Chains A and B, each alone.
Chain A
Amino acid sequence: MIEFFQSPVTQTVLSALNQGFIVTLELFFITLIGAIPLGLVIAFGSMNRWAPLARPVRWFLHRRQREPGRFSRWLIALRPVSLITRLLVWIVRGTPLILQIIAIYYVPGLVMDGGTPWPRGEAGRMTAVCVAFIINYAFYFSEIYRGGIQGVPSGQQEAGLVLGMTKRQIFFKVTLLQMVKRIVPPMSNEIITLVKDTSLARAIALQEVIWAAESFMKGNQGISGIWWPLMFTAVYYLAFSAIVTMLLGRLEKRLDYFQV
């Protein structure tokens, strides 16, 4: 066993896997940092009640002394921000992440004059992959947030209102923590999935840990035809998801002091 870990082949492989896993971790953390707040913005977008046509249509009907028909009722109920956001939720959740990665990296360069807007080289790939992951996960998170926000009973909002709180105060002082408590379990699932989804980044040749492992099947640094590195990546993923699971479990426990 010790001999195995001391052999030059193992040393080379492990150092390559370590390098790859650092890329995996970077992608993981950047995605979380970007997607967690962006998801909230999207959640508010999909719950946005702005209905710009309601007033003019009602006014028009009132002037003409007409009852609202089917079309005018549709116009009154039209909420463009919510509509567009939900359309995007559907598109992003309805298409594979791998497709989004490829589209985000290649399509702008194929369409725009002067080529890709991404920086060239490895940094550009990382940036593009991060953007794709942040967008994808933000939309997934937004639906979890939406469920969390709407899951808080309306009585909480009303209790805040009659106590003279502003909507802002109600959100931050009353509903936010209850929402957090509700979303921690589903968010944990998504975050564990994200640990593993990072491997999709190799579609555009981002050199994450799976890519590094596969290179030794093809031949890399004089080592070829060994497949144990690929299997060995499981150790990295398992160890990391164990840490993530533990941290999220702690968070869940810290919120145990109250019940919703």
Chain B
Amino acid sequence: MPILEVHNIEKHFGKTRVLEDISFSLEQGQALAIIGSSGSGKTTLLRCLNFLERPDVGTISVNGDVIFDASDPSTQKEAEVRRKRLHFGLVFQSFNLFPQYTALRNVTLAKELLAQEQPDFKSRKKEILDQIEKEGQQLLEKMGLADRAGHYPSQLSGGQQQRVAIARALALHPDILCFDEPTSALDPELTGEVLRVIKGLAENHTTMVIVTHEMAFARDVADHVIFMDGGVIVEQGPPSQVIENPQEERTRHFLERYSNG
């Protein structure tokens, strides 16, 4: 059974249709790359998965449970949306770290807040908080940022900030980790360190959805590639097919333009 199933998603902004008939599925431990030009709807699709936008039509299922159904308001209750979001993690293009907290606190904050809702939090407070902090520290270590735990975002480079943001998303152990053009806001010489981290995650079979402009990276990392244009999926399949041997004219056109710069 696929971990993620998206069926027939449609989304309008006013009269503009930004997504139409989007369906795909993703297996546990696989990485999905979504490519396409600006305005093709790929970021909106990612935001739909994270409940930052509500699709007008369609369903989203995780592990076989329908967590969103546009035609069933009972799947859209605010209080439950909060819990459902936790199936997904999201790494933003512009990092969106909390500037007033250190790298470590950025990673641990959400987890602490969630822990406070546990019934036994009061009695085991210190133990729980210590555990969260230890995990945060380990995540930063994994990102190669062990010595940056006490730094504030403004004291970190863009690449370091993005790695903190990845650690922050991982801290909540999402089923599916989403990346929204994670290297687009970075200076070219800093993209490598972030891509390496994501690649490492893929090698550890983290389930991921990556919206990206880095074609070579998509080809290396992804198990499955979706090419979008004008709000629809033009072509999807393994990278060997979609990127190296595209069937559709529009895909070819996009890839050509892309490789020509």
Do A and B touch (CB < 8 Å)?
Answer: yes
Among A155, A164, A181, A257, the most chain B Cβ lie within 10 Å of the Cβ of: A164
A163, B153: Cβ atoms closer than 8 Å: no
Taking a contact as CB atoms closer than 8 A, the residue among A158, A163, A260 that contacts B168 in the complex is A163
Binds A, one of B106-114, B122-130, B220-228, B246-254: B106-114
Contact B99 A178 (CB under 8 A): yes
Quick check: is A98 within 8 A (CB to CB) of the other chain? no
B85 at the interface (CB under 8 A from A): yes
A178 touches B100 (CB 8 A): yes
A153: which B residues are within 8 A, CB to CB? 96
Q: Which applies to chain A's interface (DSSP): helix, strand, loop or mixed?
A: helix
Flag if B96 contacts A164 (CB, 8 Å): no
Contact of A258 among B50, B88, B96, B152 (CB under 8 A): B152
Q: What 1/0 flags go to B77-110 for Cβ under 8 Å of A? A: 0000011011011101010111110000000011
Q: Kindly identify which residue among B52, B86, B92, B154 contacts A164, using a CB–CB cutoff of 8 Å.
A: B86
A164 and B83 within 8 A (CB): yes
User: Is B100's CB under 8 angstroms from A164's CB?
Assistant: no
Tell me whether B85 and A156 are in contact (CB under 8 A): no
Q: Contacts A159-B92, A173-B109 given; indicate if A164 touches B152 (C-beta within 8 A).
A: no
Is A166 engaged at the interface, CB distance under 8 Å to the other chain?
A: yes
In the bound complex, residues from chain A placing their C-beta under 8 Å from that of B132 are none
The number of A-B residue pairs with CB atoms under 8 Å apart is: 60
Check if A164 sits within 8 Å of B98, measured CB to CB.
Answer: no
* Least CB separation from A154: chain B residue: B96
User: Which of A173, A181, A260 has its CB near the most chain B CB atoms (within 10 A)?
Assistant: A173
Is the CB–CB distance between A165 and B113 below 8 Å? yes
Contact A164 B109 (CB under 8 A): no
In the bound complex, what is the Cα–Cα distance between A34 and B245 (angstroms)?
69
Residue A33 interfacial (CB < 8 Å): no
- Given known A-B contacts A155-B92, A164-B85, A257 and B152 have beta carbons under 8 A apart: yes
Q: Does B57 contact A (CB under 8 A)?
A: no
What are the 3 closest A-B residue pairs judged by CB atoms, nearest first?
Answer: A163-B110, A155-B96, A159-B96
